[in-house]
Amino acid sequence: MKSLPLLVGLSALTAASSVFAWDYVLLDTDKAAQNQQITSQQLGVKTDKPFTITMRTLHGGRQEGVSIIDIDNGTMKLSVVPTRGMNVLQASVGDVRMGWDSPVKDVVNPAFIELNGRGGLGWLEGFNELVTRCGYEWVGHPGMDNGELLTLHGRAANIPASKVTLQIDEKPPYAIRLKGELKEQAFKKVDFSVQTELVTEPGSTSFSLNDTLTNNGDYPKEYQALYHSNFSTPFLEQGARFEAPVKQVSPFNEKAKGDLGDWQTYRAPTPDYDETVYNIVPYGDAKGDTLTVLHNKAGSLGVSVGFNTKQLPVFSLWKNTDTKGQGYVTGLEPGTSFSYNRRFQRPLNLVPTIAPKEQRQFQISYSLLADKGAVDKALGQVKHIQDGRETEVRKEPLVDLTKEQ
Amino acid sequence: MKSLPLLVGLSALTAASSVFAWDYVLLDTDKAAQNQQITSQQLGVKTDKPFTITMRTLHGGRQEGVSIIDIDNGTMKLSVVPTRGMNVLQASVGDVRMGWDSPVKDVVNPAFIELNGRGGLGWLEGFNELVTRCGYEWVGHPGMDNGELLTLHGRAANIPASKVTLQIDEKPPYAIRLKGELKEQAFKKVDFSVQTELVTEPGSTSFSLNDTLTNNGDYPKEYQALYHSNFSTPFLEQGARFEAPVKQVSPFNEKAKGDLGDWQTYRAPTPDYDETVYNIVPYGDAKGDTLTVLHNKAGSLGVSVGFNTKQLPVFSLWKNTDTKGQGYVTGLEPGTSFSYNRRFQRPLNLVPTIAPKEQRQFQISYSLLADKGAVDKALGQVKHIQDGRETEVRKEPLVDLTKEQ
Amino acid sequence: MKSLPLLVGLSALTAASSVFAWDYVLLDTDKAAQNQQITSQQLGVKTDKPFTITMRTLHGGRQEGVSIIDIDNGTMKLSVVPTRGMNVLQASVGDVRMGWDSPVKDVVNPAFIELNGRGGLGWLEGFNELVTRCGYEWVGHPGMDNGELLTLHGRAANIPASKVTLQIDEKPPYAIRLKGELKEQAFKKVDFSVQTELVTEPGSTSFSLNDTLTNNGDYPKEYQALYHSNFSTPFLEQGARFEAPVKQVSPFNEKAKGDLGDWQTYRAPTPDYDETVYNIVPYGDAKGDTLTVLHNKAGSLGVSVGFNTKQLPVFSLWKNTDTKGQGYVTGLEPGTSFSYNRRFQRPLNLVPTIAPKEQRQFQISYSLLADKGAVDKALGQVKHIQDGRETEVRKEPLVDLTKEQ
C-alpha cells in the first residue's frame, strides 16, 4: 500500500484488504458520512483520465441526510446513493445521460417513505434512479402472499447501506470499486445481507454491478432479485429498438397483448399510454452470458445491459412511453423473476430458494454504445448469442391476472 | 441589494431575486439547516419595531432534527416549522397566544410518523400547530377511495420543506417573507409542488399565508386543500362566538345535529364532549373576499381569518370543546373541501381538478383583534359582506355517514 | 454539588436536582446527542471500581443517528439505547454476556421501521435487545381491536427518548442513575409519558429499572406493560432451568400444550422448534415481591429477574429454543398482561386502566448469579416465596386462539 499525503477531509486509511489497492472506509458504524474527495492526483496516479471520487450529503425536503457518492472516472460520471440501497442515480458521458426524469425530484431518504402506504405502492415516492435494486426477500407488484402485504419490489432500494468502502487498484487500469453492504433482517423472518459492488475504470464508458446475496440464516429462504435499469432519451425515442437473444416473449397482462406486435420498438411520448410490460426468457451463450441492447432509431447511440442467465434467468421489458412529465422511460430488468406478485411466480418456478449460508451472485454490466460502430458490434453479439435459435412469441400472459381477487 | 456586514452564522447572500430586498437561503440541497439569526440591526434598518429571524434545531424524542424558524416582527412572535410543511406552530403578541395546547408536545419529525398507522389516523401523532396545512392530493377523514387508503388530511403537514428562503424588503414597511417549497411527488401518482409563503411586517399583529399549488404533471389531477387553523384560550371560552357571512350551515354528522342551535357559540371545556363540526358555505364580497371571526364572550379579544371564496369556497368550523387536557380548541378551516373522506366529496362537487402546469393560489390572512374596537370593526366587516343575504340553516348533514360501510 | 474539572466534551453541569449528586443533561430539546465521556476519575471519586459513562452515535445502515450510552460500572458493562425507548441492548460481566444474538444486527433507528408493515410485525425488524420495553398503550400480538390494527408489542421500543439525564450520587456507593423520558402521545388517543430510570452501582453485577408511567390526559385510559427480558447462552442451554414461585402456569397456545410437561427446562438449539410460550401467574411475598431465575444445567451460572406482582401481576416465559442463527433465546417477561392481542386480554382482566394524572411504577431488577452459591441463594428465595403454596398446571390455554377470526 502506498503512503498518502495527508489530506483534509480524507478518510483515515484502513489496513488494505487487498495488498495492491488503496482502501478507504467512507461509512461505518463509528464513521459518519462526510464531505470528502479522493483524486487520482492525490494518489499520485499518472493518467490521462484523472479520476475523482466525491462524497456529499443532501439537505432539505425528503432528501434530508441522504449521502451521494459521485465517481468521475475521467470519462463517465456516476452517482451512487448509499442511503438508498447503493442504487445508481445516474451516469453520464459528456451530454449523454443514462437515467431518466422521474416526477420524483428528491433523492428520498427512506426514513420518509412508508412502503406500506398507497396500498403497498409507497416505493413510488422514491423511484427515480438509473438502477434501482429490487428484492431480495421479494420483488413484484404489491399484494397479499402468505397473509402478508408484500410491498412493491421489496425493500432493497430503501435500505441504507452499512459499511461503505472504496477501493482503487494500485496498478493500471486502476479499477475503482465501491462497495456497500445492505442488511435485510427481521427476527424470525429473514437474515439476508447483500454485498453490493460497483466497478468502473478510469476512462471507461462502462460500469458493472457485482452483488453477492448471503442467507445468513439457518433455514432455506425464498428470495427474488430484479435490477430495475431505467433509460430515457437520447436512447429512448420514437422508433428506438430493443434487441436481445430471446427464447420466449409474452405480454405481462391484457394491456400488453395489444401491442405485442411492436414489442421491440418504442413509441414517442404518448399521452395516456401508461405502460406495457413484456416478459422475456433470454438465451445465453454456453456460459449463460447474454446481452440486451437499447438503441435509438438511427442505431447511432445505445446502451447495453449484460448479465448471466444462470444468475438472472428472466428479464422484464418495461415500456413506460407515456409523456415526458409522467415519466418517459423504459426499464431493462434482468431478474430471478418477473414483476408479478410473488404468489403468482411460484407456479412459474420463479421464486428460487437460497440455502443457509449460501450465496448468490448477480453481475450486471452497463455500457454506453457511443456510436454506430459500438451499437452494431453489440447487436452482432446479440445475434451471435441467439445463434439462429427460435423465438417463441407467446400471445397470452403467463399469469391470468383477470382471476386475481 | 445593500451590502451587509459579515456575520458569524449568517447565510451567504444569494443574488437578490427581487431588486429591492435582502434574500437569504436558509435551507437548500447543498445547505443544511443551521442555527443562525438575522436582525434589523444587522441590516441597518432603523425602526422602532426591531425584528429578528432565528433558525434553530430541536433535539430528543420524536422531534430530533426538526427545524424551527422564529420570526419576531417586533410585536408578534411567530414560529414556523420547515420540517413539517412550513406549518405555523404558534403566534403570540405579548401574553396573548394564537394556537393551542395539544397533548402532542413534541414538534414531531415526519420520519417518526406512520400516516398509515392507527387506521390512517397516524397524522394525530404530530398534530399541534396553529396552522396545519392539509392537502394537497386529498384532505378529510381516513377511508378507502379508488382502492387506496387515504390517510387523515393528506400528506402536506408531514412533508419537510425543500428550499427555504427569507426575503426582507429593503424599504418600509420592510415586509418579511418566508418561503418554503413542498414537493408532493410519487411516480405515476402525483407531481405537485407548493410554494408556501408567510408574510408579516415589523410591528404588525397580522400575518398572511400565500401558497401556490402547481401541478407539474402532464395530466389533470384532483386536489384538495384545507387550512386547519386552530385557536384556544384566551379567544375560546364559554360564550365565545364565531361570526362569518354564512350562506349555508349544516351539521357535519349526527352528533353535530344535536348542537345545531348553538353552532355559533362555544362551551366551556366539557368532559366527554369530543367535537362537533359544522360545514359552512360562506358568502364573499364582490371579489370573493370574506372574513371569519372568533371572539371571546366579552367581545374584547378575537382573531380574524380572511380568505377568498373563489380560492377556498367552503369552511369547516371544528368545535373541539373537550377538556383542556384532551385539547380545548376550535378550528377555523377554509378549504376547497369539507372534512369528509374524498369519496364523499365528489358528489358535492368539492373535489376540484387542476390542469397540467396550472396553478392555484390560496391566500389566508390571520389577524389578532386586540381590543373591543378591533373586534367590532371585524364584525362590521362580516356584516357588510353578509349584506342582508339569507342564511340557510340546513338540519341534515350533506353526507349520510350512517350509510358508510 | 462538587466542583468539576473542565473537560472537553463534558456536558455543562445543570443545577443539581438532588443536593448530593452530580447531574448531567445528555440530551434535551436544545442539546444534541454528542460523543462524551464521564469518569469516576474526573469526578474525583476514589474507588477500586472506577466507572465510566460514555455517549456515542452509530452510523450507517438503519442505525444511522442512533445514540448509545455505555455504562461501565467497574464490573458490569451496560449499553442503553436512548433512540429506542431507553432499551437495554446488553450487559456483560467479563466474558459473561446477558443478552442474545438476534438476526437483527443493526441497532435500528425507529425512523426506518414501519410498525404497521408485515401485517403489524414491523417491530421484528428492530428486535435485538436484552430488555425491550413493550407498551404502554398496548402489548401483545398484532391484530384488530376497536377497529384499529394494534402492532406487535406497542410503540415504546420505537420511541426515541426526550430529555436524558445522568445522575451520580456524591456519596458511596455512588449510585449511577440514567433517566430518559418517553412520550407516547397522539391527539384524541393517548397522552402518556414514561420516566424511565436505570440504576446500577460501581462494582455491582446488578441493575434495576424503575419506570413511572403517567397518564397526563383527562380521561382514564387502558394501558399495558411488558418487560421483554431476553437471555441466551451461557445461561440458556440444554437442560437449563427456569424457576419461579408459580401460582398458575398454562400453555399460551396449542403448540405449547405439547411441551407442557417440560415447561421449566430448555432444549438445545432445535431446528424448526420455533417457540413455545407459557403464561405464568407468579406468587409474591407479603409485599408482592417475587423472583424468577434462569440457570444453566449445572446450576453454576444464572440470572435473576425480580419484580413486584402488584405492579406486574403476570409473567410470560418465552422459549425460543430454535437454532442459534434463528435466535436461540428465552424471554423472562414480567407484565401487566400476557402476549395475546389486547382484545383477548380484556376478558382475562389483564387490561388495566390508569386514571387521569395517575402514575404506575414498574420496578424490575436484573442480577447476574455468577456461581453456584449465588444460584442456590436465588433458588432459596424462590422457594421461600412459594412457601409451599400450590401450583396449578393448567392444561388448556387461557385463550382459545383457534376461534380467532
Contact C111 A111 (CB under 8 A): yes
pLDDT at position B10, please? 32
Give the distance from residue C107's alpha carbon to the nearest chain B alpha carbon, in angstroms: 16
> Once rounded to an integer, what is the mean pLDDT over residues C168-172?
95
pLDDT tens-place string over residues C48-88: 999 999 999 999 999 999 999 999 999 999 999 999 999 99
Angstrom CA distances, B48 to B40, B73, B91, B173, B175, stand at 10, 11, 20, 12, 15
Q: Is B57 on the interface with A (CB under 8 A)?
A: no
pLDDT at position A55, please? 98
Q: What is the largest CA-CA distance in chain A?
A: 66
Which of residues A200, A225, A250 is at a domain's end? A225
Is pLDDT above 50 for A307?
A: yes
Residue B377 belongs to a domain: yes
- Same domain for C127 and C59, yes or no, is yes
Is pLDDT above 90 for C3?
A: no
Residue A351 belongs to a domain: no
Of the candidates B116, B164, B182, the beta carbon closest to that of A116 is on B116
Q: Is C144 on the interface with B (CB under 8 A)?
A: no
C-alpha cell of C187? 391527539
- Same domain for B159 and B259, yes or no, is no
pLDDT at position B222, please? 98
Closest listed residue to residue B111, CA positions, set B181, B57, B62: B62
Is pLDDT above 90 for B405?
A: no
Rounded to 5 degrees, φ, ψ at C101 are -105, 100
Interface test with B, best of A57, A79, A89, A125 (most B CBs within 10 A): A125
pLDDT at position B19, please? 58
Q: Is C238 on the interface with B (CB under 8 A)?
A: no
Q: Are A201 and A189 in contact (CB under 8 A)?
A: no
Is pLDDT above 60 for B403?
A: yes
- Same domain for A89 and A203, yes or no, is yes
Quickly state the pLDDT bin for B29 (edges 50, 70, 90): very high
Quickly state the pLDDT bin for B166 (edges 50, 70, 90): very high
Is pLDDT above 70 for C6?
A: no
> Once rounded to an integer, what is the mean pLDDT over residues C384-397?
98
Is pLDDT above 70 for C404?
A: no
pLDDT tens-place string over residues C80-110: 999 999 999 999 999 999 999 999 999 999 9
Residue type, position A154, single letter? G
- What residues of C are in contact with residue A160 (Cβ under 8 Å)? 60-62, 64, 112
Q: What ipTM was reported for this prediction?
A: 0.94
- Same domain for C212 and C288, yes or no, is no
Residue B346 belongs to a domain: no
Which of residues C208, C225, C242 is at a domain's end? C225
- Same domain for A236 and A193, yes or no, is no
pLDDT at position B12, please? 36
pLDDT at position C402, please? 79
Residue A360 belongs to a domain: no
Of the candidates C59, C103, C128, the beta carbon closest to that of A31 is on C59
pLDDT tens-place string over residues B120-148: 999 999 999 999 999 999 999 999 999 99
Give the distance from residue C128's alpha carbon to the nearest chain B alpha carbon, in angstroms: 20
pLDDT tens-place string over residues A26-50: 999 999 999 999 999 999 999 899 9
Work out the mean pLDDT of chain B and round it to a whole number.
Answer: 94
- In total, chain A counts a number of residues equal to 405
- Same domain for C104 and C195, yes or no, is yes
Work out the mean pLDDT of chain A and round it to a whole number.
Answer: 94
Residue A14 belongs to a domain: no
The helix or strand, by DSSP H or E, that contains position C258, with its residue range, turns out to be helix C254-258
| Number of structural domains in chain B | 2
pLDDT at position A161, please? 98
Q: Are C90 and C99 in contact (CB under 8 A)?
A: yes
- B-chain residue closest to C112, CA distance: B111
Please count the other Cβ atoms lying within 10 Å of the Cβ belonging to residue B172: 11
Q: Are A217 and C325 in contact (CB under 8 A)?
A: yes
Q: Is C191 on the interface with B (CB under 8 A)?
A: yes
pLDDT tens-place string over residues A122-174: 999 999 999 999 999 999 999 999 999 999 999 999 999 999 999 999 999 99
Q: Is A120 on the interface with B (CB under 8 A)?
A: no
Quickly state the pLDDT bin for C47 (edges 50, 70, 90): confident
- Same domain for B94 and B166, yes or no, is yes
* A21: DSSP letter: E
pLDDT at position A395, please? 97
pLDDT tens-place string over residues B36-70: 999 999 999 998 999 999 999 999 999 999 999 99
Percent of chain C exceeding pLDDT 70 equals 95
pLDDT tens-place string over residues A354-396: 999 999 999 999 999 999 999 999 999 999 999 999 999 999 9
C-alpha cell of A251? 405480454
Neighbours of chain C (3+ CB pairs under 8 A): A, B
Is pLDDT above 70 for A13?
A: no
- Same domain for B235 and B298, yes or no, is yes
Q: Are C223 and C358 in contact (CB under 8 A)?
A: no
pLDDT at position A20, please? 86
Residue B5 belongs to a domain: no
Instruction: Give the dihedral of Cα atoms B344, B350, B356, B362; nearest 10 deg.
Output: -130
Domain, as residue range, for A232: 228-335+370-400
Neighbours of chain A (3+ CB pairs under 8 A): B, C
Q: Is B147 on the interface with C (CB under 8 A)?
A: no
CA pair distance A102, A89, nearest whole angstrom: 11
* A269: DSSP letter: S
Cell numbers 412508508: residue: A114
Higher per-residue pLDDT: A405 or C145 = C145
CA pair distance C376, C396, nearest whole angstrom: 32
Beta strands in A36-188, from DSSP E residues, in sequence order:
36-39, 52-57, 67-72, 76-81, 87-93, 96-98, 131-136, 143-145, 148-150, 164-169, 176-186
CA pair distance C68, C76, nearest whole angstrom: 16
Contact B61 C162 (CB under 8 A): yes
Cα radius of gyration rounded to whole Å, chain B: 21
DSSP string, C49-72: S--EEEEEE--SGGGTT-EEEEEE
Give the distance from residue A282's alpha carbon to the nearest chain C alpha carbon, in angstroms: 34
- Same domain for A244 and A166, yes or no, is no
Q: For the domain that residue C75 is a member of, what is the CATH number? A: 2.70.98.10
> Once rounded to an integer, what is the mean pLDDT over residues B204-232?
98
Residue type, position B120, single letter? G
CA pair distance B123, B141, nearest whole angstrom: 11
Quickly state the pLDDT bin for A399 (edges 50, 70, 90): very high
pLDDT at position B402, please? 79
- Same domain for B380 and B239, yes or no, is yes
Quickly state the pLDDT bin for B5 (edges 50, 70, 90): very low
> Once rounded to an integer, what is the mean pLDDT over residues A66-93?
98
- What residues of C are in contact with residue B57 (Cβ under 8 Å)? 32
Which of residues C197, C225, C253 is at a domain's end? C225
Is pLDDT above 60 for A195?
A: yes
pLDDT at position A295, please? 98
Is pLDDT above 80 for A3?
A: no
Please count the other Cβ atoms lying within 10 Å of the Cβ belonging to residue B18: 12
CA pair distance C321, C343, nearest whole angstrom: 28
Contact B103 C186 (CB under 8 A): yes
Angstrom CA distances, C85 to A113, B106, C25, C158, stand at 22, 15, 17, 6
Residue A376 belongs to a domain: yes
Residue C190 belongs to a domain: yes
C-alpha cell of A389? 435459435
- Same domain for A164 and A238, yes or no, is no
pLDDT tens-place string over residues C285-340: 999 999 999 999 999 999 999 999 999 999 999 999 999 999 999 999 999 999 99
Closest listed residue to residue B330, CA positions, set B277, B281, B388, B382: B277
- Same domain for B205 and B237, yes or no, is no
